[in-house]
Amino acid sequence: MKRVFPFRGYVGTSLVVIFWLLNWNLNGLRTQWAFFPLWLGFIILIDALVYSVKGNSLISRIKYKFIGLFLISVPVWWLFEALNYFTRNWNYLGRQYFTDFQFALLASICFSTVIPAVFEVAELVGTSKLLNKINISKEIKINERKTYFILLTGIIMLSLILLLPEYFYFLLWLSLYLIIEPVNLMLGNKNLFNFLAVGNWKPILSLTTGALICGFFWEMWNFYSYPKWIYFLPGVNFVHIFEMPILGYLGYIPFSLELYALYNLINGSLLKSKDEVINFNDVKIAKTN
């Protein structure tokens, strides 16, 4: 069946072009108002591409609930900002021009795009013929003992971050997943363990690849922005791609899993929804007890 490229795709493309040009070519403060429409355009464009490939997408399936992805994204990223208070791995040039309230408000609007961007690109990656040719059938079943072991490992990692951040800061991008995902499993929320139990690695491959792609665009669009973020990663501050040290991009891989786990914790436990937000093309999944 012939797919059509929806009108929203042209709207998204226009937003990307207009606000990319504005953000990189205007002088002075501009990213605080150009960041959101730039990434909103990116999200809408990717959604349109997904729809044109398989006839459905996040927007077409969950409709008004799509706004919930933006709302959930805000507290999720502020959690990482709270942990960065201890690690000091990134800070914002231009922060001094805003009051605390202004910064919190403007930053929250920008942070709202994180989860929808990663989830949209993950779903687009899931339609890739190359990804679908990858056949990993290794089954990993997580029993009760393993669940508590993973949870304890995550707690230990988080403790090391808080106690010795200069040495263990890199665990920030894995510790939360090892804490939250076992909790999701115990609560019956959506989780990646149920996919792995039947040897289905596609969701993990889609999420991690999607986050790496988003990471490239985050770092590229940030490079000529102002305000902008810069990094300090002890031991790996060499060979930068944009502001990010090349080894720092590895953090985007587990970061995608943390976003998925945190979203499902909020969506399942607080909002009482058991729906799967990302359509991984009808992949196999183990039943939740």
The two tokens of residue 282 are 């009808």
| 205 within some domain | yes
d(CA 230, CA 261) in angstroms, rounded, equals 27
What is the residue range of 22's domain?
Answer: 7-270
| 286 within some domain | no
Cβ atoms within 10 A of the Cβ of 249, count?
16
| 277 within some domain | no
| 287 within some domain | no
**pLDDT for the residue numbered 97:** 98
- Per-residue confidence in pLDDT tens, the chain, 289 aa: 567 899 999 999 999 999 999 999 999 999 999 999 999 999 999 999 999 999 999 999 988 889 999 999 999 999 999 999 999 999 999 999 999 999 999 999 999 999 999 999 999 999 988 887 888 888 999 999 999 999 999 999 999 999 999 999 999 999 999 999 999 999 999 999 999 999 999 999 999 999 999 999 999 999 999 999 999 999 999 999 999 999 999 999 999 999 999 999 999 887 777 778 888 765 444 554 4
| 79 within some domain | yes
Into how many domains does the chain fold? 1
| 281 within some domain | no
| 276 within some domain | no
Cis status, amide bond into 227, omega within 30 of 0: yes
**Sign (positive or negative) of CA dihedral 256, 42, 61, 131:** negative
